[in-house]
Structure 1
Amino acid sequence: MKKKIQNRWLQDILFMIVGTVIIALAVKCVFEPLDMVTGGFSGLAILIKEMTSHLVKGGIPLGVTSFVLNVPIFIWAFVKKGKEFAGKSFVAMILLSFWLAVIPAWDLSQQDLLIGCLFGGGLMGFGVGLVLRAHCTTGGTDMLAALLHIRLKQYSLIQIMQVIDALIVIAGLYLFGLKIALYAIFAIFVMMKVSDITVEGLNTSRAVYIMSDKSDEIAQALMSGLDRGVTGLNAKGMYTHKERCMLLCVVSKKQMVYLKETAMAIDPKAFLIISDAREVWGEGFQSFADKM
């Protein structure tokens, strides 16, 4: 167990280092050269650099702004949430500020907005996903939203984050124009999708509910053909008042074709409900012991 904990810490540190490097590359080498504000403190740092360019040569560096903005947020988090909440995230924030300060300002997009939003959004999403897999954040608007949520319980955490990021994007629209702002919104969408895939993986599962008069035959066929467990649930049709067994089976996406073809071959009148199962823990899927 001690070795597993040490390996987990080493893995988290590796994810934090690589993730913050990738985030810094996206901000410094894609979004900044394009003046593309994608929300978050990184987007706010780009705005501040532009607004201070006439006061300081080249504007205030992104790493300095990111660090200065995050310090009071982490002090607030430490007071309100405790050291466990703020500890790893503070290290990730220091790493991100460091990379933003030392990475040269290469223009990886070559001033192409489409390449910028796709490549930059993909880089940012992958980096954020790695940091989240290390069970921390880089601070910024997500942590600010979590702290504001303590006082604003009537709003969800996502709603608060959306409002903060929307205000930053609107400010970018005012400074850099509508065209870049629209590309920035597209980049945010790409970033969200890539970060979800990075955190959850491509092997998302499906939860399938099957209503049939031949539930026993279908269950046996699925258990033998897919090597998956099937659970029978007592169900009652409120129109017919007829009681029957409803099957629940969780399978991978690759197994969905076999499941549907098998169920419909046995009972063409079967009623199937298929939904995404974002996380599945247990035998045949993710093992909690392996995550420790």
Structure 2
Amino acid sequence: MNWVSLTRGKRSGFWDGLSIVAGCALMALSFRLFMNGNDIVAGGVVGLSTLLERRLGWEPAWVQWGINLPLLALGFWVLGRAAGARSALGSLVLPLLMLVTRTVPTLTHNPLLAALFGGVVYGAGLGLVLSGSGSVGGYSLLARLVTKRLHLLVSNAIFTLDALTILGGGWLFGAEKAMYGLVAAFVMRRALDAVLLGFSHTKLAFVISTAHDAIRQAVITELDRGLTILPGTGGYTGDPRPVLLIALGQAEVPRLRTLVRTHDPDAFIVLTDAAEVLGKGFHREA
């Protein structure tokens, strides 16, 4: 490894670490400003710590450390050093910041507002942690350990653990609070996806037409977009049917429809969302 690649790796590691710490800070603030004071349990070890605080009076940060530290040790042993190291920073820093922010007052006592804003802030924080190649341990690490021994999907294991935690919130705080927990979990997921995937309005169009050459020329000259020609075969006729793959902005979709219909009213168009499109000449305001 030369000096340049070593320096680049250190720089990348620094920004990853900063992203993880910043994400943990947002998650801790969400917990204190919105979730904990309103008894909203949206799953995860953080939600479990709320249940144990209300039931037994235990400080949430200590509960999270008490769960995460043994899981980290098992993670290093069962999953290997690399997997354990990725979970270490977030698993240790998040409870620390929960402890540091324990005197922060609840911002609102409206449970719906708390679920919405708490979900957004918490999801954004978790997105920063994951974008820094980190983890906050908890159920995600426990699920990986469980599925290492059992033939289960990690996503199914996490869903089951989260569902049990939310049901525990409903049993302790009432069904209405469990519903707010579900709202928070949904908003959290949307915010997480927004941070990881962005707010792209990019579309992918698949165009199948006998006039594919004329449409190709029109897309290039009139729509000013590039495209890719994929080989295809008609399922009924067995004839060659080239498929035009076009990445375009949402505002350009009506123009594409008009353009295609002009050359072939019977053309087959499939439109789908694209989380992100990168490449020379594409990224611009649509």
TM-score higher than 0.5 here?
yes
- Unaligned stretches of 5+ in structure 1? 53-58, 287-292
Q: Which secondary structure does the structure 1 equivalent of 2:193 belong to?
A: helix
Please say which of residues 37-46 and 81-90 is displaced more in the overlay.
Answer: 81-90
Aligned to 2:257: 260
Q: Tell me the distance in 1 between the aligned counterparts of 2:129 and 2:45.
A: 16
Contact preservation (8 Å) 1:203, 1:253? no
Identity %: 29
Aligned to 1:184: 181
Residue 273 (structure 2) pairs with residue 273 (structure 1)? no
- Unaligned stretches of 5+ in structure 2? none
Residues 237-248 of structure 1 aligned to structure 2 (within 5 Å): 237-248=234-245
Using the TM superposition, give the Cα deviation of residue 208 of structure 1 relative to its aligned residue in structure 2, in angstroms: 1.8
Aligned to 2:18: 14
Contact preservation (8 Å) 1:29, 1:105? no
Q: Tell me the distance in 2 between the aligned counterparts of 1:49 and 1:23.
A: 18
Contact preservation (8 Å) 2:41, 2:181? yes
The correspondence for 1:196, drawn from 179, 193, 200, is: 193
Structure 1's 81 and 282: CA in aligned 2 closer, same or farther, altered over 3 A?
farther
Contact preservation (8 Å) 1:129, 1:199? yes
Q: Which secondary structure does the structure 1 equivalent of 2:126 belong to?
A: helix
Q: Kindly provide the CA deviation profile for residues 203-260 of structure 1, in whole angstroms up to 9, marking residues without a partner as x.
A: 2543321111111111122233455432222322222333322212233434434333
Q: Which amino acid aligns with 2:36?
A: E
Using the TM superposition, give the Cα deviation of residue 282 of structure 1 relative to its aligned residue in structure 2, in angstroms: 4.6
Aligned to 1:172: 169
Using the TM superposition, give the Cα deviation of residue 15 of structure 1 relative to its aligned residue in structure 2, in angstroms: 1.0
Q: Which amino acid aligns with 2:147?
A: H
The correspondence for 2:35, drawn from 31, 35, 38, is: 31
Please say which of residues 158-167 and 206-215 is displaced more in the overlay.
Answer: 206-215
Contact preservation (8 Å) 1:172, 1:181? yes
TM norm structure 2: 0.90
Q: Tell me the distance in 1 between the aligned counterparts of 2:8 and 2:261.
A: 45
Structure 1's 253 and 243: CA in aligned 2 closer, same or farther, altered over 3 A?
same
